[in-house]
C-alpha cells in the first residue's frame, strides 16, 4: 500500500536540496503546456476541467522525464502515482451521467468525487507547507542566537539623589497633603434670572402716565432691558386696567395699543397677585434706575404713536 504525501515523514536537508536541484516535470497537451504543478493548481481551482486533460499523455511525459534522469527517484514516482490515480478517479466520476438519483451506489460515487477533490486540495496544501518549511530551514540554518547579559556596571548604575528641600519644606508639604479637603459646593444662583416685580413696574407706569396721560405700550416698554421686564409691565397694565385708572384704545387688530390715564392725581394703591413675597420686599436695581430716569424726564412728552421726541 502506497503512503500518501500528507503522511510521509519530513525529508532531510540533503533530500530537500536534491529535490530542489532535479529538473521540473513539464506537461505538453493540446490545451495546456507547462509545469505539472500548475496543471494541478488549475484543476483544483476549477479553472480547467479534468475531463479535458489527457491523462495518458501526462503519463507518457512523466515516463519520458524519468528516463531522461541519471538516477530514478522512487519518491517522485510514488507522488506521481498517487496524483495520477486521484486524477483518474476524479475524471471517471466526472464522466458519469449527472442524472439525479437516489441509488445508494450513485450517491456513494458522488461522495467519492468530492473526496477526490478534497484529497487533491489537501495534497497541494501539504506541498506548499513543506516548501515553506524547507525555505525557513535553509534561511535559519545560518543564524545563531547570541545571549548577552547586562554588564555589571550598568546593572548597578543608579542616578544621583538630589534633595532640593529641607525638613521644614517637607513638613509643610506633608501638612498640606494630610489636611482635610473642603466640602465641594455647587452654586445654583446662576440657574435662574432675578424675578421682575409687577408691583414695581406698575408704580413706574403710574408715575409716567401722570406726567403724560396718553402714551403707547411701545413707549412704555421702549427702555425695558429684557423680555421679562416687558412682560412685567404688561401685567402691571392689566392690574391698573382692572382698578379702573386707565383705558385701552386699539383701532385695528394687532395695531398700536394706546393707554389713557383716568386716575387723575389721586393715590392709587398698586397690588398684584403675580408678585410673591420676595418680589415685594424692595425695588430691583432696574426699577430704581427707571425711577431715577423718570425724575429727570418729567418734561419729556410721550406721543400716542409710541415714539418719544425731545424738546
pLDDT bucket at 103, cuts 50 / 70 / 90: low
- Greater confidence (35 vs 286) lies with 35
Task: Please state, in angstroms and rounded to a whole number, the distance separating the CA atoms of residues 89 and 62.
Answer: 19
- pLDDT digit string (tens) for 140-167? 887 877 788 888 888 788 777 767 888 8
Share of the chain above pLDDT 70, in %: 70
pLDDT bucket at 175, cuts 50 / 70 / 90: very high
Q: Where in the chain is the domain with CATH 1.10.10.580?
A: 198-296
Mean predicted confidence (pLDDT) in 79-101? 70
Cα of first residue to Cα of last residue in the chain, in angstroms, is: 127
Paired strand residues for 216 = 258
Which position has the grid cell 430691583?
284
- pLDDT digit string (tens) for 13-60? 344 444 444 445 788 888 888 887 777 777 777 777 777 788 888 888
Task: Please state, in angstroms and rounded to a whole number, the distance separating the CA atoms of residues 150 and 134.
Answer: 35
**Does 281 score more than 80 pLDDT?**
no
- Greater confidence (5 vs 170) lies with 170
**Does 235 score more than 80 pLDDT?**
yes
Share of the chain above pLDDT 90, in %: 5
* Residue 120, pLDDT score: 72
pTM of the model: 0.31
* Residue 255, pLDDT score: 87
* Residue 192, pLDDT score: 64
Assigned CATH for 198-296: 1.10.10.580
- Greater confidence (147 vs 1) lies with 147
Task: Please state, in angstroms and rounded to a whole number, the distance separating the CA atoms of residues 232 and 284.
Answer: 12
Amino acid at each position: 500500500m502506497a503512503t500518501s504525501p500528507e503522511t510521509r515523514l519530513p525529508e532531510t536537508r540533503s533530500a530537500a536540496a536534491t529535490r530542489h536541484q532535479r529538473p521540473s516535470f513539464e506537461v505538453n497537451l493540446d490545451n495546456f503546456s507547462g509545469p505539472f504543478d500548475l496543471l494541478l493548481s488549475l484543476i483544483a481551482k476549477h479553472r480547467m476541467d479534468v475531463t479535458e486533460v489527457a491523462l495518458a499523455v501526462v503519463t507518457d511525459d512523466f515516463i519520458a522525464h524519468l528516463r531522461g534522469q541519471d538516477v530514478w527517484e522512487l519518491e517522485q514516482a510514488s507522488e506521481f502515482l498517487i496524483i495520477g490515480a486521484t486524477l483518474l478517479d476524479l475524471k471517471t466520476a466526472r464522466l458519469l451521467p449527472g442524472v439525479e438519483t437516489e441509488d445508494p451506489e450513485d450517491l456513494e460515487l458522488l461522495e467519492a468525487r468530492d473526496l477526490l477533490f478534497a484529497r487533491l486540495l489537501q495534497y497541494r496544501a501539504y506541498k506548499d507547507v513543506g516548501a515553506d518549511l524547507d525555505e525557513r530551514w535553509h534561511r535559519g540554518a545560518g543564524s545563531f542566537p547570541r545571549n548577552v547579559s547586562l554588564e555589571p556596571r550598568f546593572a548597578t548604575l543608579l542616578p544621583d539623589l538630589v534633595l532640593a528641600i529641607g525638613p521644614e519644606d517637607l513638613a509643610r508639604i506633608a501638612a498640606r497633603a494630610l489636611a482635610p479637603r473642603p466640602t465641594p459646593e455647587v452654586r445654583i444662583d446662576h440657574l435662574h434670572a432675578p424675578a421682575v416685580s409687577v408691583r414695581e413696574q406698575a408704580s413706574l407706569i403710574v408715575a409716567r402716565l401722570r406726567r403724560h396721560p396718553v402714551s403707547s405700550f411701545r413707549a412704555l416698554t421702549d427702555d425695558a432691558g429684557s423680555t421679562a421686564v416687558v412682560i412685567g409691565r404688561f401685567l402691571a397694565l392689566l392690574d391698573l386696567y382692572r382698578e379702573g385708572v386707565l383705558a385701552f384704545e386699539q383701532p385695528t387688530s394687532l395695531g398700536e395699543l394706546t393707554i389713557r390715564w383716568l386716575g387723575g392725581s389721586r393715590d392709587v394703591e398698586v397690588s398684584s397677585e403675580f408678585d410673591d413675597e420676595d418680589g415685594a420686599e424692595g425695588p430691583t436695581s432696574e426699577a430704581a434706575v427707571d425711577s431715577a430716569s423718570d425724575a429727570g424726564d418729567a418734561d419729556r412728552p410721550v406721543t400716542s404713536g409710541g415714539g418719544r421726541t425731545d424738546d
